[in-house]
């Protein structure tokens, strides 16, 4: 029996919510034995509707998985309505996982990057954006060696985050972060562009054509620019 391919999607909001459906469609009709686990401790709010698709103000991971199960019955979906923290990271990301990281804070990016560096074989596709631009980082380890550079190696702000993991915040601190998000809005079109670039990076890797560490996206300049290096998969 063919080994189950395990996909972990961390964050089902602005980027993750637009990435999950096309990725699931591609995997559903491309191969058997696929398991997709979605992690998110946040709940949908009315203010999210300008950028995200949902029908009830429920936990993002659980609501998203409930909808996807009906569309793609060939895939085994799992919902984890929780944030990734030091307490659950080891059991959440394991050997040979393919991880799509779609969060908005560097603390979680560092946590996931550090965990992937501990594994012998793992693929991490991390996406993030500001209002009209963003980037995608492709981090691959094979047989205990880095094939591409980790997010912490590429970006000092990820290696030394000045924000906090939402899973470690109190309710009061989390409300403060939500208020900050209201004053620093994101744009639907940029979320879509980064989600698409993440899928593109994954497909390029699948085809043996991914010769880059990261891709920069700017929707105003209509530009998608890879940052290549000497990479041999």
pTM assigned to the model = 0.91
Please, what is the average pLDDT of the chain? 89
Task: Give the pLDDT confidence score for residue 142 in this predicted structure.
Answer: 97
CB contact burial 156-182 (16+ within 10 A = b; e otherwise): eebbebeeebbbeeeeeebeeeeeeee
Neighbouring residues of 129: CB distance < 8 A, sequence distance ≥ 6 = 15, 135, 186, 190, 191, 193, 194, 217
Q: Is 133 in a helix, a strand, or coil?
A: strand
Distances, alpha carbon 4 to alpha carbons 32, 35, 112, 136, in Å? 8, 7, 22, 26
**Cβ–Cβ < 8 Å for 225, 216:** yes
Task: Give the pLDDT confidence score for residue 114 in this predicted structure.
Answer: 98
pLDDT in tens, 21-69: 999 999 998 777 899 999 999 885 656 545 556 556 688 899 899 989 9
Write out the H or E segment, with its range, that includes residue 35.
Answer: strand 34-39
pLDDT in tens, 195-209: 999 999 999 999 999
Q: How many CB atoms lie within 10 A of CB 35?
A: 15
């Amino acid at each position: 029996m063919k080994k189950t391919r395990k996909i972990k999607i961390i964050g089902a909001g602005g980027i993750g919510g637009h990435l999950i459906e096309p990725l699931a469609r591609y995997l559903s009709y491309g191969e058997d034995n696929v398991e997709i686990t979605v992690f998110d401790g946040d709940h949908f709010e009315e203010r999210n509707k300008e950028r995200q698709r949902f029908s009830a103000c429920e936990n993002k991971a659980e609501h998203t998985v409930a909808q996807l199960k009906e569309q793609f019955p060939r895939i085994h979906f799992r919902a984890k309505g929780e944030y990734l923290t030091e307490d659950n990271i080891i059991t959440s990301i394991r050997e040979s996982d393919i991880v799509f990281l779609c969060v908005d804070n560097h603390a979680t990016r560092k946590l996931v990057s550090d965990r992937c560096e501990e594994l012998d074989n793992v693929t991490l596709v991390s996406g993030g954006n500001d209002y009209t631009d963003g980037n995608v980082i492709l981090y691959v380890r094979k047989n205990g060696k880095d094939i591409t550079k980790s997010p912490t190696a590429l970006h000092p702000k990820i290696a030394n985050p000045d924000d906090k993991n939402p899973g470690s915040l109190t309710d009061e601190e989390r409300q403060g972060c939500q208020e900050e998000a209201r004053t620093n809005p994101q744009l639907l079109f940029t979320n879509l562009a980064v989600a698409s670039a993440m899928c593109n990076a994954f497909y390029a890797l699948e085809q043996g054509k991914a010769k880059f560490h990261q891709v920069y996206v700017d929707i105003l300049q209509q530009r998608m620019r890879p940052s290549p290096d000497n990479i041999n998969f």
